[in-house]
Amino acid sequence: MFYSKENLRFLLHEVFHVEDLCKRTYFKEHTIENFDMMIEAADALAVNHLRPILIEMDRTPPHIENGRIKVHPKMRELMKKFGDDGWISMSAPHEYGGQQVPFTILQATAFIMAAANYSTMAYPFLTNGAAHLIETFGSKHLQQTFIPKMYAGEWQGTMALTEPQAGSSLSDIVTTAASTSDGHYLIKGQKVFISCGDHDGCDNIIHLMLARIEGAPAGTKGISLFVVPRMRMDESDNLVFNDVHTAGVFHKMGYHGAPIAHLIMGEQNDCRAYLVGEPHKGLSYMFQMMNEARIGVGLQATSISSAAYYASLEYANVRLQGRMLSDKNPLNPQIPIIEHADVKRLLLFQKAIVEGSLALGFQATMYLDQWRTSEGEEKENNFLKLELLTPIAKSYPAEMSILSTSAALQCFGGYGFTKEYLAELFFRETRIHTLHEGTTAIHGMDLLGRKVMMQNGKATMLLMQDVMNDIASAKKHDALIPHANTLTQKLQQLQQVTMHLITVAQKDGVETFLADATLYLEYFGIIAIGWQWLKLGEKAAVEKQSLSKKYTPEFLQSKFHALNYFFEYEMPKTEGLYIRLCSNNNVTMQTKAEEIV
């Protein structure tokens, strides 16, 4: 077991009511039964095809052979399967051969696959994101040329942003695009850290690439988006090499099933690129893919935390070691380690992180689905809440996955450090998530410097409204009142902190204002997860009262324990952060670089 199907059902049905999405025109052909079947299909794929090759993939990372990246031989078969069974296209509009599945359901299936084998999931969902970009902003010709092959799993899609000198600082991209009289551009430059940027599991790689048209303004305002295929079609529709050279594959700590490539374009001055949309608007287009990918990263970090949690839970139930502290008789049999308080704590911690993060992820995907399928004020409001929540839904699960998988590993004792169990693999694998799709620091600045401030704090106000509604619902259950009150108080504290920081911005300028943005992100994150847990508790209380018996008593009781855990062990961490965020002792501002030795 690497995730809980019961919990996924609970989240989708009881907590987020995905069936409500089916009332919207765009999703009207779907039903909740339909969604459940997709979950079942993802589960079957994960169990039968993805998990069985996890260890083998980890032990045989991608490597370069004759200038191409070779991946696990099973990937070609899987790519075809992803295409044939509709996993790549599921969220696309009918006109592009898709099923118009909500992003929430797409991410739920990706969650299952990533929990089974994170690397394998990267291939189809990157392709989905890339095709979706062409769908939204590309010309009809580009759409017709590329999308069908991508959705069929024959051609891989990528997002090609990062360059050696331009990682967090995207404005420093120097890859150039020279216009030609034939309508296409010629690209010169290099890209690094391109996930699935080259591999032999498909016939072609389609890069959605940021580059600078010659003469474009400096900075982010001069960046354009291009489709850059590894192989392009010649006049007779044969695939010919498009001068996208694979310069290397990164050897990495985990995520061994998927290659990360270093690419060099235009060595023979023959790398053709096709402009997407208008010139110089590339970054804003790319943000569609980036924002979806960011929510995805949060959920995928959660997948790995989930896989590690269930591995450690299983072990804790069977591994015998020690006795109750009150039992001093060494002749008594040893007990399963789950009976020890500290092991329970390690498990409840993981459960609180996994299920809280998963809920927060779906909160974001639901805002996204509602935004995409609404108009006017509803659209605007959902957009604002989504924008605000995205850096949190990306970073909290990513950062906490390091600790959550570490807690799983700890449950295994010395065995956790060995390759006899999967805990060490999950611990290695998840470490990428605070780095790709924007480091945590970038998201901290995005949250505090941009999202909290936009439209005079309207996004925060709207989000708080939703939180307050959930608090009101929770208060109908006596047992939840203390937690509801704690959350109310935390919201007030959050407002205080935000106001304090705005004063700092006005008084001391932007550097000091954002110096601890990462801590603000963490602080906001804990409160956001507290919100989700209160909601999970409320829905569990409703289910407990109802006579439906859709969930086992243990399942529901488990929710109350994890809620209690979160408010007793995690929520108090806001106290230290509150003190720090309100302090006027600007440690990092006072510290000169040369005084760090």
State the alpha helices, DSSP H only, in 154-205: none
**318 interacts with a copy of itself by CB under 8 A:** no
Contacts with a copy of itself by CB under 8 A: the residue count is 109
C-beta of 183 vs 217, nearer to a copy of itself: 217
Q: What is the C-alpha to C-alpha distance for residues 156 and 100, in angstroms, rounded to an integer?
A: 21
Q: Which residues does residue 509 pair with via DSSP β-bridges, in sequence order? A: none
Annotation says 437 is catalytic: yes
CB 205 → a copy of itself: shortest distance, Å?
Answer: 19
**439 interacts with a copy of itself by CB under 8 A:** yes
**320 interacts with a copy of itself by CB under 8 A:** yes
Q: What is the CA radius of gyration of the chain?
A: 24
**63 interacts with a copy of itself by CB under 8 A:** no
CB 120 → a copy of itself: shortest distance, Å?
Answer: 18
State the alpha helices, DSSP H only, in 319-375: 341-372
C-beta of 90 vs 115, nearer to a copy of itself: 115
Residue with tokens 């991608």: 62
Do the Cβ atoms of 141 and 300 come closer than 8 Å?
Answer: no
Contact with a copy of itself (CB under 8 A) among 44, 240, 324, 472: 324
Contact with a copy of itself (CB under 8 A) among 144, 180, 334, 496: 334
Each residue 557-586 as x (binds a copy of itself by CB under 8 A) or -, in order, gives xx--x--xx--xx--xxxxxx-xx--x-x-
**413 interacts with a copy of itself by CB under 8 A:** yes
**143 interacts with a copy of itself by CB under 8 A:** no
C-beta of 103 vs 565, nearer to a copy of itself: 565
Q: What is the C-alpha to C-alpha distance for residues 252 and 234, in angstroms, rounded to an integer?
A: 36
CA angle 102-385-107, nearest 5°?
A: 30
Contact with a copy of itself (CB under 8 A) among 49, 385, 431, 539: 431
**392 interacts with a copy of itself by CB under 8 A:** no
User: Is beta strand 204-213 parallel, antiparallel or unpaired with respect to 155-160?
Assistant: parallel
Q: What is the C-alpha to C-alpha distance for residues 477 and 469, in angstroms, rounded to an integer?
A: 14
| Residue 16 in tokens | 């987020």
Closest CA to 537 of 481, 456, 458, 580: 481
C-beta of 125 vs 565, nearer to a copy of itself: 565
Contact with a copy of itself (CB under 8 A) among 97, 148, 219, 457: 219
Contact with a copy of itself (CB under 8 A) among 31, 144, 171, 489: 171
Among the listed ranges 101-109, 129-137, 218-226, 534-542, the one in contact with a copy of itself (CB under 8 A) is 218-226
**214 interacts with a copy of itself by CB under 8 A:** no
CB 546 → a copy of itself: shortest distance, Å?
Answer: 19
**587 interacts with a copy of itself by CB under 8 A:** yes
**321 interacts with a copy of itself by CB under 8 A:** yes
Helix (H) / strand (E) containing 440 = helix 440-445
Contact with a copy of itself (CB under 8 A) among 137, 193, 523, 531: 193
Active-site annotation holder among 437, 538, 543, 570: 437
Contact with a copy of itself (CB under 8 A) among 47, 85, 154, 250: 250
Instruction: Report 503-522 residues binding a copy of itself (CB under 8 A).
Output: 509-511, 514-519
Backbone angles phi, psi at 399, to 5 degrees: -65, -45
**9 interacts with a copy of itself by CB under 8 A:** no
**344 interacts with a copy of itself by CB under 8 A:** yes
**314 interacts with a copy of itself by CB under 8 A:** no
CB 210 → a copy of itself: shortest distance, Å?
Answer: 14
Q: What is the C-alpha to C-alpha distance for residues 206 and 209, in angstroms, rounded to an integer?
A: 9
DSSP-derived letter for residue 256 is T
**343 interacts with a copy of itself by CB under 8 A:** yes
**555 interacts with a copy of itself by CB under 8 A:** yes
Do the Cβ atoms of 305 and 3 come closer than 8 Å?
Answer: no
Closest CA to 50 of 77, 70, 69: 77
**253 interacts with a copy of itself by CB under 8 A:** yes
Q: What is the C-alpha to C-alpha distance for residues 256 and 544, in angstroms, rounded to an integer?
A: 43
Closest CA to 190 of 179, 174, 177: 174
Instruction: Report 444-483 residues binding a copy of itself (CB under 8 A).
Output: 444-445, 449
**317 interacts with a copy of itself by CB under 8 A:** yes
| Residue 145 in tokens | 């040329």
Q: What is the C-alpha to C-alpha distance for residues 383 and 319, in angstroms, rounded to an integer?
A: 48
**434 interacts with a copy of itself by CB under 8 A:** yes
**339 interacts with a copy of itself by CB under 8 A:** yes
- Name, in order, each residue with C-beta under 8 angstroms of 177's C-beta and a sequence gap of 6 or more: 185, 186, 187, 211, 212, 213, 214, 224, 226, 273, 275
Q: What is the C-alpha to C-alpha distance for residues 480 and 390, in angstroms, rounded to an integer?
A: 27
**550 interacts with a copy of itself by CB under 8 A:** no
Half-sphere exposure at residue 29, Cβ-oriented, CA atoms within 13 angstroms:
8
CB 515 → a copy of itself: shortest distance, Å?
Answer: 4
Helix (H) / strand (E) containing 232 = strand 231-233
Contact with a copy of itself (CB under 8 A) among 419, 450, 476, 507: 419
C-beta of 102 vs 537, nearer to a copy of itself: 537
- Name, in order, each residue with C-beta under 8 angstroms of 499's C-beta and a sequence gap of 6 or more: none
Catalytic residues: 437
